[in-house]
Chains A and B, each alone.
Chain A
Amino acid sequence: MMSNVVVVDNGGGLIKAGIGGERDPTCVVPNCTARPSSSKKWLVADQLLSPSEDLTSATLRRPFDRGHLINPDLQSSVWAHLFTNLLKINPASSSLLLTEPLFALPSIQHAVDEIIFEELNFRALFVADSPSLVHLYEASRRPYGLVSKAQCSLVVDCGFSFTHAAPVLQNFTLNYGVKRLDLGGKALTNYLKELVSYRSVNVMDESFIMDDVKEKLCFVSLDVQRDLKIARRPGKDNLYRCSYVLPDGITHMRGFVKDTNEAKRYLALHENEAPFLAGGKDYVELQDGSDNPKDKRNIDLTKTEFSLTNERFLVPEMIFRPADLGMNQAGLAECIVRAVDSCHSHLHPALYESIILTGGSTLFPRFAQRLEMELRPLVPDEYQVKITTQEDPILGVWRGGSLLASSPDFEAMCVTKAEYEELGSARCHRRFFH
């Protein structure tokens, strides 16, 4: 009875759900419904991941807007599907640990409580915020590390809808110190969509494909001016040019990177440039040798693929310089500095030394490196800057939740259904210190 805790990290992009105490979530599914242009049926969550579904030009509906729940009805149907078909649990006999975005509005909290207790009938509920869970997980992973000794960390959560820099002290998020940057993976994908649609192929309706393009091809530049110059070179000297093949609906249903070696050419650039160009030539020969599959694919090649050059690093660049896009917000490095500055000065050295990166958008190659480069000049000399990356930034929050759910105190921290019925939604939030 007591072991049955369901942990749900309810993100704007992906729901990570599983049973508390386990290492990995049972399922990681998109938190949305979509309808392919060819059918009238809305596909939910895991159905979107099946390879047989043709999701080109699908219409999307998400329960989240700007990181907050706006459509409780849709969310409740996604959850119902999740709990009955994917996790196969009985809510009446299980507790739920749910993550909530920071600064959720009271009206949204009420709506969530209502769904959990009245529609889904969970036995008990605990609402957590993600930075504290990430802190908990990292502290438990390295019991002798600074995070667990100083009991504080600065969690930088760069997710789907927005980016937070949140100081955590003794497992509590210091909400007066949290700073938010209104940019996340969704905005990046949309930006990439816009660029590609204007420059080569109209992909404005292809959210799923462009997500894939972004994940596979985008990276963070360490020197934008230099990279722009390289991206301008013609032909094979251009280390950043890379093609992505769009699905044609006949031979392949998913898009793919045309040549993964070509896509990875930028990685070797730092060591030295010269041997790399030779590698580029190898690639040419390889291409000439294997012309046949190319012919088979399609006669009109220009229509099914597009190539990216500077878009590959200019898109993630936005997180570091939102001003370039016309946003009146400071970049990520400054966001971190402001979050730290709003805490007590005794915490500053410890916070700078225990920056934890989490969230799917930190998966861009070289993200941490670039962040350190930008952060170092902004931080006082006497403080060290240390950025820790999580081994799986998407699951970091969930693993923290799983850990919390398996702790012996968990049941005592929950609000039970009986308490909710007696005291209403207000009870929940007094309990969770929100």
Chain B
Amino acid sequence: MDEEMSSSLRRMSMRTRKVAPKMAAALASSDNRAQAMLARLEALENDNAGLETVQVDDDDEVSFDDDDQAYQKKQSKSTKRKTRQAKALENAKKAPRTFLELLQEANLESLPPHVPSYSRAAVGPPSSTARRHFCTVCGFSGSYTCVQCGMRFCSIRCQTIHTDTRCLKFVA
């Protein structure tokens, strides 16, 4: 029993180690950090947590389970009912475009500069660039930056938690 536990734990860590180099490469540069930041901000406007991209407006799929197998089963069931092409076509017709797509289509840049528009109404960058940093683990002011991913932490304790649970484990 005990051995089984430890072996499963080891397997877990093997997997993260396999993923980590890729992620490390993707996240090492500050530009990618900025991208990860943007992705996080984008996520704040999601209706359904993260999974939205997986099943945008697909009526046939029941919401995502933690159990991967169950999910795959459901997916294969739904693909059996319809051909992939028909489904894709239907989705393309049905799927509403995001607001950003609509915005791009409206081509607001072409308006003369004196006309107020959506893009000109944005408040713009703050006058002071000073930024408070909060520890991503506990929420108190975080004075240190993780050298690998750029997230903030406040103490060794939080750093350990951060590296164990989050560092380079999110998809940018």
A interface residues (Cβ-Cβ under 8 A, vs B): 32, 35, 37, 40, 57-62, 65-68, 70-74, 102-103, 105-108, 164-165, 175-176, 178-182, 186-187, 190-191, 193-195, 198-199, 204-205, 207, 224-225, 228, 231-232, 309-311, 314, 321-331, 334-335, 338
Contact = CB atoms under 8 A, between A and B. Distances in A.
A341 to B, nearest CB: 12
Given A73-B96, A102-B121, A323-B126, A62 B47 contact: yes
Contacts of B11: none
Given A178-B116, A178-B121, A334 B139 contact: no
B48 interface: yes
B131 interface: yes
B124 A105 contact: no
Given A40-B62, A107-B105, A191-B44, A180 B122 contact: yes
Given A186-B45, A193-B49, A310-B140, A324 B131 contact: yes
Contacts, number: 140
B50 A65 contact: no
- 7 shortest interchain CB distances as A-B pairs: A204-B49, A71-B96, A330-B126, A103-B118, A187-B44, A65-B99, A310-B139
**B interface residue count range (under 10 / 10 to 19 / 20 to 34 / 35 or more):** 35 or more
Given A35-B63, A175-B116, A204 B50 contact: yes
A61 B126 contact: no
Interface in B80-139: 94, 96-100, 102-103, 105-106, 114, 116-118, 121-127, 129-134, 136-139
B62 to A, nearest CB: 7
B44 A195 contact: no
Contacts of A180: 118, 121-123
A207 B46 CA distance: 10
Contacts of A106: 106
B166 A198 contact: yes
Contacts of B57: 61
Nearest to B98: A65
Contacts of A58: 63
B41 interface: yes
Contacts of B96: 70-74
Contact of A326 (B40, B48, B118): B40
Given A181-B123, A190-B44, A198-B166, 6 more contacts: A70-B96, A187-B45, A199-B137, A204-B49, A314-B134, A330-B123
Contacts of A225: 141
A410 to B, nearest CB: 26
A195 B127 CA distance: 28
Contacts of B103: 105
Contacts of B50: 204
B124 A329 contact: yes
A228 B139 CA distance: 9
A228 B141 contact: yes
Which of B45, B94, B103, B106 gathers most chain A CB within 10 Å?
B45
B14 interface: no
B25 interface: no
A371 to B, nearest CB: 15
Contacts of B62: 37, 40
Contact of A37 (B45, B63, B139, B140): B63
B43 interface: yes
Nearest to B95: A71
Nearest to A182: B122
B146 interface: no
